Amino acid sequence: MNLIIIGAGIMGTTFAILAKELAPDLDVTILERLDKAGEGNSWAFNNAGTGHEANCELNYTPVDEEVISVEKALKIHAQFNVAKQFWAYLVEKGAIKEPTSFINQTKHCTIVSEPSIEELKLRFKEMSAHHFFEQMRYSEDFDQIKDWIPYTMEGRLRHEKMAATVIETGTDVNFGSLTEHMADYAMNELGVKIEYGVHVKRVHRSPAGSWLVETKTRGASVQHRADVLFVGAGGGAFPILKKSHMPFARRFTGFPVGGRFLQARITPEQADQYRAKTYGKAEVGAPPMSVPHLDLRVADGQHYLLFGPFASFKPVLEKGRGFIDYLLAMRLHDIPGLLNVAIEHFPLVKYLVSETFKGDKSMLEALDKFAPGLSKKFDWKPIEAGQRVQIIKDGDLQMGTEIIVSSDKTYGTILGASPGASVSPEVMLRALERMFSEILSKDDAKAKLKEMFPEDDLDVLINNPDRYRAVRDAANKALGITSKSTR
Ligand SMILES: Cc1cc2nc3c(=O)[nH]c(=O)nc-3n(C[C@H](O)[C@H](O)[C@H](O)COP(=O)(O)OP(=O)(O)OC[C@H]3O[C@@H](n4cnc5c(N)ncnc54)[C@H](O)[C@@H]3O)c2cc1C
Indicate whether residue 6 lines ligand 1 (CB < 6 A): yes
> Taking the CB of residue 346, how many other CB atoms lie within 10 A of it?
10
Mutate which of 17, 18, 34, 42 for ligand 1? The one with the most ligand atoms within 8 Å of its CB, which is: 42
The fold adopted by the segment(s) 2-475 is: FAD/NAD(P)-binding domain (3.50.50)
Q: In 3D, which of 366, 371, 390 has the Cα closest to residue 256?
A: 390
Q: State yes or no: cis peptide before 309, omega within 30 of 0.
A: yes
Mutate which of 47, 84, 222 for ligand 1? The one with the most ligand atoms within 8 Å of its CB, which is: 47
Indicate whether residue 17 lines ligand 1 (CB < 6 A): no
Helices then strands (H, E): number in the chain?
A: 18, 23
What pLDDT was estimated at residue 486? 38
Report the C-alpha gap between 325 and 271 in whole angstroms: 40
Report the C-alpha gap between 119 and 68 in whole angstroms: 8
Q: State yes or no: cis peptide before 419, omega within 30 of 0.
A: yes
Model's pTM, two decimal places? 0.96
Q: Across the beta sheet with 411-416, what order do the strands follow?
A: 193-195, 27-31, 2-6, 228-231, 411-416, 401-405
What pLDDT was estimated at residue 162? 96
Report the C-alpha gap between 390 and 416 in whole angstroms: 5
- Cβ pair 165, 279 in contact under 8 A: no
Domain residue spans of the chain: 2-475
Report the C-alpha gap between 376 and 381 in whole angstroms: 12
Residue 96 is classified by DSSP as: S
Indicate whether residue 85 lines ligand 1 (CB < 6 A): no
Give residues with Cβ within 8 angstroms of 14, minimum separation 6.
86, 182, 424, 425, 428
Indicate whether residue 386 lines ligand 1 (CB < 6 A): yes
Q: Is the dihedral of CA 355, 358, 360, 365 positive or negative?
A: negative
Residue 386 CA, ligand 1 centroid: distance in Å: 7
Indicate whether residue 233 lines ligand 1 (CB < 6 A): yes
Report the C-alpha gap between 402 and 119 in whole angstroms: 30
Indicate whether residue 41 lines ligand 1 (CB < 6 A): yes
Residue nearest to atom 14 of ligand 1 (CA): 47
Residue 474 CA, ligand 1 centroid: distance in Å: 28
Report the C-alpha gap between 54 and 50 in whole angstroms: 10
What pLDDT was estimated at residue 484? 61
Report the C-alpha gap between 278 and 160 in whole angstroms: 18
**Which atom of ligand 1 is nearest the CA belonging to 10?**
25
Long-range pairs for 98-102: beta carbons < 8 A, 24 or more residues apart: 99/478, 99/479, 99/480, 100/298, 100/480, 101/174, 101/177, 101/181, 102/173, 102/174, 102/175, 102/177, 102/178, 102/181
Q: In 3D, which of 45, 42, 44, 15 has the Cα closest to residue 31?
A: 15
The rounded Cα 351 to chain-centroid distance in angstroms is 23
What pLDDT was estimated at residue 3? 98
Indicate whether residue 12 lines ligand 1 (CB < 6 A): yes
Report the C-alpha gap between 363 and 259 in whole angstroms: 12
Residue nearest to atom 25 of ligand 1 (CA): 9
Residue nearest to atom 1 of ligand 1 (CA): 47
Helix, strand, coil shares, percent, the chain, to 5: 40, 25, 30
pLDDT tens, the chain, 487 aa long: 999 999 999 999 999 999 999 999 999 999 999 999 999 999 999 999 999 999 999 999 998 878 999 999 999 999 999 999 999 999 999 999 999 999 999 999 999 999 999 999 999 999 999 999 999 999 999 999 999 999 999 999 999 999 999 999 999 999 999 999 999 999 999 999 999 999 999 999 998 889 999 999 988 999 999 999 999 999 999 999 999 988 889 899 999 999 999 999 999 999 999 999 999 998 776 777 778 999 999 998 899 999 999 988 888 999 999 998 888 888 888 888 888 888 888 888 888 888 888 899 999 999 999 999 999 999 999 999 999 999 999 989 988 899 999 999 999 999 998 769 999 999 999 999 999 999 889 999 999 999 999 999 999 999 999 999 999 999 999 999 997 643 3
Residue 417 CA, ligand 1 centroid: distance in Å: 8
Indicate whether residue 37 lines ligand 1 (CB < 6 A): no
Indicate whether residue 294 lines ligand 1 (CB < 6 A): no
